[in-house]
Structure 1
């Protein structure tokens, strides 16, 4: 299957409303191939991203995806399959309606676990981020950690597939670490985290 055989449809190609799901449908290749081959970008007054559901097909055998714009205006959606643009790409939807706040949309995200405040050096520390009450999902979770001078932390984000994520970090030294946790470029409540890491931490 090459890019010329991929069909993209759905109301989100032409229009949408800030804060609401703008739905797209993708067809023309098996789901596994679409998952491997599709790359997308949504540019405009604010960058957005297309969230896919590769776990299930809709009634027509298509894969659905959507994006959630935050600001009104003219957008450009570029869709490539195996590096080549699909027919009709780039699409230029017009988003109309009042702007919404990304911070408000993700205000129900919560953080659980002592390791979000206290960590142990040279050990794997773990806490949980709960995004399950965020509807709709407006973007993927991005985590970045910065350590004190001459220290860093290995970071791993595990998707539990139920709206929650495990954050595992292993600091290379003691001191204060700062962790940015964002969705759609907006900090979740409590971010940036200030984490005090010591070499001795009782369990």
Structure 2
């Protein structure tokens, strides 16, 4: 069962707001429609007897309404619908949205858009509802007093944000406006395309295939859902520029393939697929198969290699052991490094002498952020040990007298101390 039309998207007071319900492929069942909100809705329901129903409703008070559509006591896809009804008359009708880019906005950076008021009289307000349902006030700055205003806020997280703009408490047309915040890896579901014979037709008992091109869509969660008279075996695997999806239907009839990226339908989704052939399974009613993929960012040239980012704190790393104080020429010396409380980052260990690099430096990860470092220097020379965690430097190399001991705690806070050794090498370890 599917619902479509302006009436499940927006409405106006005092006028008929309409939408259609399509249930031809759903089989026999009970269909229920309700409209709840600030005022009671006058509801009209017309069954055209061809698998299509028409619904009209009229309300007198502007605000947010909930349109719920159930089939056999279960919500149909996307139900309940949130519909914002604007006043049919009044100053709020003069408001117009301008310069609003609704997707690909990074979190943590200011987002600004413009509302044209055309000298509408009243108190203008704006707020944003974040994905965690927190409500923040949007700053309003006049550009041309009485004509246009700039509205600015900083999204703090990724996901869909809803912006409400009201005049004397009445929402402007199409309010709230959805803003897609993509974070560091910007996600654009509109860049996705799906092609292949499997989206056009199918035969029961045979594998049907189609391709989903995710190039330039960014990283996100790709969800493919098949609804139809039978549960279809469904799987997907990665290609250079996207993913190939395969499914096998068991009963003839119409199937719907919904392709979503981070919860947003790709262009053309859901796809209606007629399937022919013998009945091999299924109960004739709607059954669902789903596959989810943690899709990586891809370009037209293939997969993007994303460099990981680490946030480990070097000040919480400690080092201890006899090898920090002295060594015997030609024999291995060792010390330990503990990063267990510092978080994940890149550990770099270097041993250097006045004669050049150390011939042998070995770092072994023992688990839980504990490392054993060993080195071997053949001659009696002066040397230094360097330990770095991440990109943050805590000090520069410090020369010390031969008599000064190195100590065994927090060498990261004073790395580059002199030790009684002879040689140097540099080793980089990725945790």
- TM-score under structure 1 length normalisation: 0.43
Higher relative contact order (CA 8 A, sep 6+): 1
Report the structure number with the largest CA radius of gyration: 2
- TM-score under structure 2 length normalisation: 0.21
